[in-house]
A and B are shown apart, each in its own frame.
Chain A
Amino acid sequence: MTFVNAVVQGIFLGAFYAVLACGLSIMFGVMRIINLAHGDIAVLGAYIAYVIVQGTGMSPFVAFVVALPVMIVLGYILQLTVLERSLKAGILTPLLATFGLSIVIQNLLLLRFSPDVRSLGGNAGAVTTSSWQITNGLSVSALGIVILVVALLVFGALQLFLSRTRAGWRMRATAEDADAAELVGIDSRGVYARATALAVAIAALGGLFLAIRSVFDPLSGPTQLIFAFEAVVIGGMGSLWGTLLGGLALGVAQTLGAHINPEYSALSGHLLFLAVLVVRYGGFRVSLRTAR
């Protein structure tokens, strides 16, 4: 039964990773940008929610809704000021630009909030502490279910958006061939900016979950980035449903590893990641796809 429990907890953990990875996957899928500041953007979102909670005493979930427009505007600005310019300069430049952005965000957060560890768990009410004992050795936490349901809603809504709406087709068309998209009347700059805004908003959702389910500090971003990146790669770069499955697989691998020995948690996730790399890309000579 404890094995089943480990898998169930892994799915809850994996749903959290999937939310974190979602924005990373969008930005890679649409613009071929690997956003190294993604984890720090998530943490920034957590801090914005934290400030609102501290200032008003509202629930972190409400605070997130208030923070959402801020994050969307930040995403737009990020795309139009930094990423758009760096994209023109080749495939390496966005990587360097977002790496720099990561350092900037971390240090601004350190400056403003000190290195103290914080959490929103205490402000989120009963959802963080409630759980149901299904059988002996298998319990389901309310927060786990909330995160899983939200993750499914986010991925489901994105799927509907991309497959059913004109704006979604425009995003897919731009992702496949930005030059040709311009020639059929699609404003590719606008699509890119919307994609980044969407990615940043979902990253902030990941940050909110991080803040509620555990603790965060100004330097929490890179760890979140690694897990998110592993989820994206395990699921197949640029595939949305793959990212959800990749997140779940990573979560289950980590809890199963921890089930064997608590020290193996992160390690077993990394091992799954490496195994997927070796299997999918044929041996150890990993060649990443080059940009068009």
Chain B
Amino acid sequence: MTLLRAEDLDCRYGLLQAVRGVSFEVTQGETVALIGANGAGKTTLLRAIAGAHKPHSGRVVFDSADVTSLPAHRRVSLGIALVPEGRRLFPSLTVEENLRVASSGQGRWNVPSVLEVFPLLQPRRHMAAGNLSGGEQQAVAIGRALMSNPRLLLLDEVSLGLAPIVVDAVYRSLAGIISEGTTVLLVEQDLARALQVAGRVICMLEGRIVLEGEAASLDRDQVVSAYFGLKRPA
């Protein structure tokens, strides 16, 4: 069953066209990686799906309902949660307050279950989020998104600025979340990691989708040339 459908999305910042006529679908339970070079439009696309960026044209359909004109907080209650680039925690709130402020009340995820998935946060529970390390902050950001019990989790560069060992820990926790059936659409710079975690890969170049396919069926050269635009599609 299709959970998310982007139809001919077009996003602009003034005259700059960041996303150009992008259409794709994400099926319930799937993990899709969105890859591409800097400035390819991945972050803008995620923000448009989450409602943080108003698209110039096109539609976002979630669970067969057109959500294009809904503000971000209404999409959260429908089940779309974005872990934004740069984490964007509320620095003066404690870890627990950061989590509870996003709570939807009912569902699999609450403060204890999030702390179970990210045990490193347990001792930091009552510390201000601004005083945490980068990895801990990323865990809070993911946990905060989970607190709304999303059906679709959007992750924007969760490994950015983190030590490789911390990235491994974050991805181990993510694997657990994915295995429970949460649908995930993630942006990842690290190609190997994206191919490893995702079932399907969408590669963007200059605002367009240039390659799309099962992670297992794509060979690395194909992805690399799409990534850098070496063989442009006609």
Contacts and interface: CB of A to CB of B under 8 A. Distances in A.
Given A172-B92, A173-B93, A185-B102, A180 B84 contact: yes
B77 interface: yes
A43 B72 CA distance: 38
Interface string B83-113: 0100011111100011011101000000000
A185 B52 CA distance: 11
Main secondary structure of the interface of A (DSSP, over half): helix
Contacts of B73: 181-188
A170 B100 CA distance: 10
Interface in A167-196: 169-170, 172-173, 176-177, 179-189
Given A169-B100, A169-B101, A177-B90, A182 B71 contact: yes
Contacts of A184: 73, 76, 81, 101-102, 144-145, 147-148
B45 interface: no
Contact of B92 (A170, A176, A189): A176
B90 A183 contact: no
A185 B50 CA distance: 11
B152 interface: no
A166 interface: yes
Contacts, number: 66
Nearest to A177: B88
B51 interface: yes
Contacts of A177: 88, 90
Contacts of A189: 71
A169 to B, nearest CB: 4
Interface residues of B, number: 27
Given A180-B84, A182-B73, A173 B52 contact: no
Contact of B52 (A169, A170, A183): A183
Q: Interface extent on A, as a size class? A: 10 to 19
B90 A180 contact: yes
Contacts of B91: 176
B84 A170 contact: no
Which of A170, A173, A180 counts the most chain B CB atoms within 10 A? A180
Which of A172, A177, A182, A186 counts the most chain B CB atoms within 10 A? A182
Contacts of A185: 73, 76-77, 102, 104, 148
Given A166-B100, A169-B100, A169-B101, A183 B92 contact: no
A33 B230 CA distance: 50
22 contacts: A166-B101, A169-B101, A173-B90, A173-B98, A176-B90, A176-B92, A176-B93, A179-B88, A180-B88, A180-B90, A182-B71, A182-B76, A183-B50, A183-B76, A183-B81, A183-B84, A184-B81, A184-B102, A184-B144, A184-B148, A185-B148, A189-B71
Given A173-B93, A185-B104, A185-B148, 4 more contacts: A177-B88, A183-B82, A183-B88, A184-B144
Interface of A: 166, 169-170, 172-173, 176-177, 179-189
